[in-house]
């Protein structure tokens, strides 16, 4: 199996409701399908009833003058919306990978995937209002065609614990991204959206971290192996996820410069400059170091150099 992408804009519609679980045909070999067929819509609805919904966002309160002054920020939001919208590719891979763990499969399909897709819908709805000239749908189609090549089961971690550690990195990346946007943005509705999403991402991190510990109790991996996975995934997030989304948003915005790599480089340079200034480094370091479970005495000796290495990888210096 190479690709798992489901480019289905209809089922990802802007309604604020997750794609109906009952529409997915049950597959007895698949943990997610077992969960879906045992207690279909009611459990998912109950579990999500306390979570925020798209309708909670007051899009009428958008300050258009503030929103439209910064196209770099809009490009970041558009890029994030696409990565979030493509979350179902990852869910399918992860559910397949953890097919013998019904607790993980249950949480991925009932909570994680609906929340990630909702993030995509909220950001897309915002972009649709403040940046109407940007062809989101066409750009997303080209993005997901490209992005699905990176999202394959074969790319997942070599052991269940290491994949959970890698998931902690991805959630650290999103939680800190939204914190940086919240810090930087002045437009109130965008700030409200990224605050809600950022809180969800921290919650996702906590779940993946708990599952990491569950598997680590069995696998008892040494810190070197875990650190190698963490650093490897930081590089992948930058090289694959972010770079892929930025490239497609750039092409969507400037089709006439689609093949101009130096212009793309300078455009993404503006994005990284914004992040460097507003990136919550202490938050990132704390989250990334958690899976290493360092004793307090070792933290300054290992934690600080590792955090510096992460910083260099993130900004493309390693």
**Closer residue to Fe ion (CB): 171 or 236:** 171
Residue list 135-174, contact with Fe ion (CB under 5 A): 171
* Cβ-contact 318, 231 below 8 angstroms: no
Binding mask 207-246 for Fe ion (x = CB under 5 A): ----------------------------------------
CA-based nearest residue to 215, from 235, 207, 106? 207
CA 259 to CA 274: how far, in whole Å?
24
Rule CB under 5 A: choose which of 88, 106, 113, 116 binds Fe ion.
Answer: 116
Identified binder of Fe ion from the candidate list 36, 121, 182, 204, rule CB under 5 A: 204
Please identify, using beta-carbon distances, which residue of 205 and 267 lies nearer to Fe ion.
Answer: 205
SS3 label, residue 259: coil
Question: Which is closer to Fe ion, CB of 207 or CB of 247?
Answer: 207
When the beta carbons of 106 and 201 are compared against Fe ion, the nearer one is: 201
CB of 177 to Fe ion, least distance (A): 9
Count of chain residues binding Fe ion (CB under 5 A): 6
The answer to whether 192 contacts Fe ion (rule: CB under 5 A) is no
Q: Under rule CB under 5 A, which residues in 72-101 are in contact with Fe ion?
A: 84
Is residue 201 involved in binding Fe ion (CB under 5 A)? yes
CA geometry: angle at 128 spanning 126 and 132, to 5°?
A: 135
Which residues touch 125 (CB under 8 Å, ≥6 apart)?
14, 54, 57, 59
The nearest distance, CB 269 to Fe ion, in angstroms, is 25
- Identify the residue among 36, 119, 179, 253 touching Fe ion (CB under 5 A): 119
Using rule CB under 5 A, residue 113 touches Fe ion:
no
| Cα 90 to Cα 88: distance, rounded to the nearest angstrom | 5
Nearer to Fe ion, 148 or 309 (CB): 148
- The b-or-e profile of 101-127 (16+ CB within 10 A means b, else e) is beebbbbbbbbbbbbbbbbbbbbbbbb
Q: Are 53 and 78 in contact (CB under 8 A)?
A: no
Q: Rule CB under 5 A: is residue 196 a binding residue for Fe ion?
A: no
**Under a CB-based contact definition with an 8 Å cutoff, are residues 153 and 97 in contact?**
yes
Interface with Fe ion by CB under 5 A: which range of 97-105, 197-205, 209-217, 294-302?
197-205
> Angle at the Cα of 28 (from 111 to 203), degrees rounded to 5?
15
Please identify, among the stretches 2-10, 101-109, 193-201, 283-291, the one whose residues bind Fe ion according to the rule CB under 5 A. Answer: 193-201
Closest contact distance (angstroms) between CB of 199 and Fe ion is: 11
Asked whether position 121 contacts Fe ion by CB under 5 A, the answer is no
Phi, psi of 198 (to 5 degrees): -60, -40
Q: Which residue has the tokens 């899009």?
A: 59
Determine the Cα–Cα distance for residues 69 and 67; give it in Å rounded to an integer.
6
Q: Of 178 and 267, which CB lies nearer to Fe ion in the complex structure?
A: 178
> Could you list the residues that contact Fe ion (CB under 5 A)?
84, 116, 119, 171, 201, 204
């Amino acid at each position: 199996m190479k690709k798992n992408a489901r480019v289905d804009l209809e089922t990802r519609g802007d309604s604020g409701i997750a794609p109906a679980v009952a529409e997915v045909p049950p597959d007895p070999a698949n943990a997610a399908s077992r969960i879906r067929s045992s207690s279909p819509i009611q459990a998912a609805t109950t579990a999500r009833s306390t979570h925020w919904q798209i309708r909670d966002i007051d899009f009428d309160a958008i300050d258009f003058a503030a929103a439209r002054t910064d196209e770099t920020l809009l490009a970041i939001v558009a890029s994030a919306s696409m990565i979030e919208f493509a979350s179902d590719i990852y869910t399918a891979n992860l559910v397949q990978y953890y097919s013998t763990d019904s607790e993980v499969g249950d949480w991925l399909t009932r909570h994680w995937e609906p929340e990630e897709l909702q993030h995509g819908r909220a950001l897309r709805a915002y972009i649709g209002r403040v940046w109407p000239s940007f062809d989101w749908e066409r750009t997303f189609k080209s993005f997901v065609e490209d992005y699905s090549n990176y999202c394959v089961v074969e790319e997942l971690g070599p052991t269940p614990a290491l994949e959970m550690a890698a998931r902690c990195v991805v959630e650290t990346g999103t939680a800190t991204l939204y914190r940086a946007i919240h810090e930087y943005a002045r437009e109130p509705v965008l700030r409200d959206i990224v605050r809600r999403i950022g809180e969800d991402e921290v919650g996702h991190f906590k779940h993946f971290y708990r599952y990491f510990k569950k598997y680590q109790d069995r696998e008892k991996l040494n810190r070197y192996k875990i650190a190698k996975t963490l650093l490897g995934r930081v590089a992948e997030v930058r090289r694959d996820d972010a770079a892929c989304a930025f490239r497609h948003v750039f092409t969507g915005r400037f089709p006439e410069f689609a093949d101009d790599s130096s212009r793309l480089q300078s455009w993404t340079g503006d994005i990284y400059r914004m992040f460097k200034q507003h990136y919550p480094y202490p938050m990132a370091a704390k989250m990334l170091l958690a899976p290493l479970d360092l004793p307090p005495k070792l933290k300054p000796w290992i934690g600080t150099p590792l955090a510096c290495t992460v910083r260099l990888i993130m900004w493309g210096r390693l």
